[in-house]
Amino acid sequence: MVLAIIFLVVALLSAVSLIRQFKIKNYLALGFSAVATLCFGYFSVMEIICRLTDAGICP
């Protein structure tokens, strides 16, 4: 569960970076921020769902 919380914090920081890079039009950093937000956000949400429930999508 600690890993999921760490991933969630990283995803939130990446989302803040995504907004900041969009404002200053730095497209390379915008791309990296978008990919990081999607990856870390997905893994944190799925980890939390798998830990709290017995969903069929969890191995």
Task: Evaluate whether residue 35 is within a structural domain.
Answer: yes
56 band by pLDDT with thresholds 50, 70 and 90: confident
Mean model confidence pLDDT for the chain: 93
Whether 21 has a pLDDT exceeding 80, the answer reads yes
**Structural domains of the chain, count:** 1
Note whether residue 57 is domain-resident: no
In a domain, 14, yes or no: yes
Q: What is the mean pLDDT of residues 5-28?
A: 95
Domain coverage including residue 18: 2-52
Spatial CA neighbour of 31 closest among 14, 13, 45: 14
Record the tokens describing residue 4, joined without a space: 């999921």
- Residue 58 phi/psi, 5-degree rounding, is -90, 140
Residue 55 has what pLDDT? 77
